Amino acid sequence: MNYTFDFAPVFAAWPTLLEGVIGTLRMSSISMVFGLSLGIVFMMMRMSKLPALRTIAISYIELIRNTPILVQVFFVFFGMPAIGVRLSGEQAAILAMTLNCAAYAAEIVRGGVQSIRPGQIEAGRALGMHSTDIYRFIVFRPAIRAVYPALCSQFILLMLNSSLVSSVSAEELTYFAQTLDAQTFRSFEIYLTLGVIYLVLSQFVSVALGIIGRVYFSYPAK
Amino acid sequence: MIRQFGWNEFLFLLEGARWTVVLSLLAFTVGGALGLTVALGRTSKWKPLRILMATYIQIFQGTPLLIQLFFVYFGLPLLGFKVDVWVALTIGLSLHTSAFLGEIWRGSIQAVPDGQSEAARALGIGYMHRMVDVVLPQAFRIGLPATISFLVNLIKGTALAALLGLTELTRSGQLMANITFQPLQVYGAVALIYFFICVPLTYCSARIERRLNAAR
């Protein structure tokens, strides 16, 4: 092996990489929030009494969960202009990641909602609680709390998957790294550094989500 | 004259799908063998080995698959190997698979009640036979649904091969979209092909899981 490692050009480009980190966190956090919200809508459709709504939700969820996110990104970015919707790389990336996250979130949250025993809801009704309150405090919040760890790993996966939206020139970490690669030809050093950055990022997101969870679900348990 | 997306173009995509399947199976086989080693290391009595395997798993679960593939693709030539994209992808996807299957199977091995291996030890059965004949068959049953789900993830993950230039299903879609200027139809068709490859597996996994839960 006669290769001299040279990390200098990589470290010299730290402002660009930082911009990339911010881009990655921005796009993935927006997709997480929208994805979870849309996922809850799909979950409610999935559990609705109307067969039509259920069918739509099941088809959507299964279609998304059984196709690669890269194809979904391509479909949104290259396919949508054909029906008159022209999106920038970043918009397409966020839309595709949101749609992707929604399907997974719907299934995860459904697991949580199904774990709520009917007796709980009956107790709420017996206490004369309003049905929206029952849904909010008795079904929804404990359900999310029960599946929060699974949601967190899904969010981390989403953050890692955001690396492939560089292929539609959305300006996140991998995109800047590839630009840097084209300028310096220090591929190995760049991707090694990139791996370390993603590793730190995933730990960071994990800790951050843990703190959010502890604050949001801090009410007495059981 | 621009080509229309028709039957012949669809066959071209299917041609690409063949390589998606081949690549997935290759990575699953090699990665599975490595994954078993990782799982056994992760559950071994020897602490340094456990820590080493935990780190290995953590690295692969904490970085994007795309970066792992780039890393292998650009890293191996530095070690003096001339790698073609197939070799790099097989190695990259196998390592990825080994870490994920290692973690899944670790869980399954640990889910086998302790009494089983204690009983085997009481009967004087050595590590090798204890694992092969007592623990692993039971762990296999427990881990099967998650393993199949991972296979689905792996098949979806091979789409990234397109970004390294291997003409599998997604790359065929890219080429076809450029030729026909009908990206909506082409990527729709690509998504459907993936869907029909993955859905039977997803269905299988869900069925086995339901049956295992019913047994408990």
How far apart (Å, rounded) are the C-alpha atoms in residues B14 and B10? Answer: 6
Mutant choice from B24, B55, B70, B164 vs A, greatest count of A C-beta within 10 A: B70
Contact between chains at B191 and A75 (C-beta distance less than 8 A): yes
Q: Helix (H, G, I), strand (E, B), or coil: what is residue A13?
A: coil
Q: Chain A: which residues have CB within 8 Å of chain B? A: 1, 3, 62-63, 65-72, 74-75, 78-83, 160-164, 167, 174, 187-188, 191-192, 194-195, 198-199, 202-203
pLDDT tens digits along A156-179: 999 999 999 999 989 999 999 999
* DSSP sequence for B81-141: ----HHHHHHHHHHHHHHHHHHHHHHHHHHHS-HHHHHHHHHTT--HHHIIIIIIHHHHHH
Closest partner CB to B74 (pick from A71, A167, A188): A188
* Superfamily covering domain A8-216: MetI-like (1.10.3720.10)
Name the residue of chain B whose CA is nearest to A197's CA.
B63
User: For chains A and B, what is the number of CB pairs under 8 angstroms?
Assistant: 118
Residue B122 pLDDT exceeds 70: yes
Does B86 contact chain A (CB < 8 Å)?
no
pLDDT tens digits along A101-154: 999 999 999 999 999 999 999 999 999 999 999 988 899 889 999 999 999 999
Longest dimension (CA), chain B: 78
Contact between chains at B65 and A160 (C-beta distance less than 8 A): yes
Name the residue of chain A whose CA is nearest to B68's CA.
A195
* Sequence ranges of the domains in chain A: 8-216
pLDDT tens digits along B8-60: 889 999 999 999 999 999 999 999 999 999 999 999 999 999 999 999 999 99
Q: How far is CA A82 from the centre of its chain?
A: 26
Mutant choice from B73, B74, B149 vs A, greatest count of A C-beta within 10 A: B74
How far apart (Å, rounded) are the C-alpha atoms in residues A178 and A187? Answer: 8
- Other CB atoms within a 10 A radius of the CB of residue B1 amount to 3
Residue B187 pLDDT exceeds 80: yes
Give all domains of chain B, ordered by start, each with its CATH number.
19-167 (1.10.3720.10)
Residue B81 pLDDT exceeds 60: yes
Q: Where are the alpha helices (DSSP H) in A115-140?
A: 118-126, 131-133
How far apart (Å, rounded) are the C-alpha atoms in residues A99 and B78? Answer: 39
Residue A219 pLDDT exceeds 80: no
How far apart (Å, rounded) are the C-alpha atoms in residues B138 and A13? Answer: 52
Q: What pLDDT does residue A222 have?
A: 47
**In B, which residues are within 8 Å of A81 by CB distance?**
183
How far apart (Å, rounded) are the C-alpha atoms in residues B29 and B21? Answer: 12
Contact between chains at A74 and B174 (C-beta distance less than 8 A): yes
Q: What pLDDT does residue A221 have?
A: 56
pLDDT tens digits along A96-114: 999 999 999 999 999 999 9
Mutant choice from A178, A191, A196, A207 vs B, greatest count of B C-beta within 10 A: A191
Contact between chains at A63 and B195 (C-beta distance less than 8 A): yes
Contact between chains at A66 and B160 (C-beta distance less than 8 A): no
Name the residue of chain A whose CA is nearest to B74's CA.
A188
ipTM: 0.91
Contact between chains at B71 and A195 (C-beta distance less than 8 A): yes
Q: What pLDDT does residue A85 have?
A: 86
How far apart (Å, rounded) are the C-alpha atoms in residues B154 and B202? Answer: 12
Contact between chains at A174 and B64 (C-beta distance less than 8 A): yes
Quote the Cα angle for B37-B43-B44, to 5°: 85
Model confidence at A29, pLDDT cuts 50, 70, 90, reads very high
Contact between chains at B67 and A67 (C-beta distance less than 8 A): no
How far apart (Å, rounded) are the C-alpha atoms in residues A146 and A168? Answer: 36
Q: Helix (H, G, I), strand (E, B), or coil: what is residue A194?
A: helix
**In A, which residues are within 8 Å of B173 by CB distance?**
71, 74
